[in-house]
Amino acid sequence: MAFNVTGKGPSYIFEFRYVRDTSSKDKTKEKVRADLLEQARKHLEFYVTDDNLRVIPDLHRYVLMYTYGEFFLREVR
């Protein structure tokens, strides 16, 4: 999905949904977030290989997660 948010070019949003494994109760909040962030980073790496995205100079990639009742925003490079 592409749309213009800034007036400086297209913006792309990719949505990924993750369901936490309820059997992994021994994982800490930080470990779960780190695992989800790594999964999202790998997904984004796949999508930025697209010819339309690869040619965009200075493409910024962000992950926004909602975990443990909190929003978590991180730029991934």
pLDDT in tens, the chain (77 residues): 444 455 566 667 777 777 766 666 667 888 888 888 888 888 888 877 777 777 777 777 888 888 888 888 888 87
- The 3-state DSSP class for residue 32 equals helix
- Supply the pLDDT for residue 20: 66
For the chain, the domain total comes to 1
- Supply the pLDDT for residue 25: 67
CA atoms within 13 A on the CB side of 35: 12
pTM across the whole model: 0.64
Domain that holds residue 51: 26-77
Residue 47 resides in a domain: yes
Phi then psi for 44, rounded to 5 degrees?
Answer: -65, -40
- Supply the pLDDT for residue 58: 76
Residue 37 resides in a domain: yes
- Supply the pLDDT for residue 53: 76
Residue 56 resides in a domain: yes
Residue 11 resides in a domain: no
- Please list, in sequence order, all residues whose beta carbon lies within 8 angstroms of the beta carbon of residue 33, skipping any fewer than 6 positions away: 65, 67, 72
> What are 63's strand-pairing partners?
74
CA 3 and chain centroid, separation = 17
Residue 13 resides in a domain: no
Residue 38 resides in a domain: yes
Residue 50 resides in a domain: yes
> What are 61's strand-pairing partners?
76
